Amino acid sequence: MPRRFIKRYTPDRTALKRHRYLRHLGTLLHDENLWHLNRRSVSGGVASGLFWAMIPLPTQMIASALSAVFFRINLPISVALVWITNPVTIPPVFYFNYLVGTWLLGTPTDIGKFELSIDWITTEIGVIWKPLFAGSLLIGTALGITGYAATRLYWRWHVLRRFRDRGGRPKAVRSYNS
């Protein structure tokens, strides 16, 4: 795995523990699994980050961090992947989630004339919230499972490739007579 690359952009644990806003979390940030770069921790962080990125909440990063602490998975990766949905990507991603939700619930996709205003959002939120959240939950769950499996598979492939490059053979290939 590209550990050096990930470690280069990961914040320093001791600095986070001393940060004035994070200091009150006490021993929660001391858990080694939140910072380890192993297959279980990283794949869990990918799954959590991808799931929460698809959920239309203003507190995605907090939810992702709390789930990382609860499940004891990689915290920086989980929080960083939430930024897949950023101010540029939110409209197409959430519109796609809305379309999936309308398909899932069997509701019409017509939301009237779109206006980027607070009035339009407050009047239409009552109509679009169910399909938006249903689609977001489905897409978030599917992306989380896919990201988890892809990370585990990539990690295993990478480890086996490095092992073979060093001249080793997997145990299943070795014979007992050699």
Q: What is the pLDDT of residue 162?
A: 84
What would the pLDDT profile of 69-83 be if each residue is shown by its tens digit? 889 899 889 999 999
Neighbours of 163 (CB within 10 A): 12
pTM of the model: 0.77
For residue 38, give the nearest of 6, 61, 79 by alpha carbon.
6
d(CA 27, CA 9): 23
| Tokens, residue 66 | 């709390």
Is the per-residue pLDDT at 176 higher than 60?
Answer: no
Is the per-residue pLDDT at 85 higher than 60?
Answer: yes
- 67 Cβ neighbours under 8 A, 6+ residues apart: 48, 52, 73, 78
Query: Which burial class, exposed, middle or buried, applies to 6 when counting CB atoms under 10 A from its CB (0-12, 13-18, 19+)?
Result: middle
Question: What is the pLDDT averaged over residues 38-58?
Answer: 93
Question: What is the pLDDT averaged over residues 20-36?
Answer: 66
Q: Are 51 and 61 within 8 A, CB to CB? A: no
Delimit the domains of the chain by residue range.
3-165
Is the per-residue pLDDT at 111 higher than 90?
Answer: no
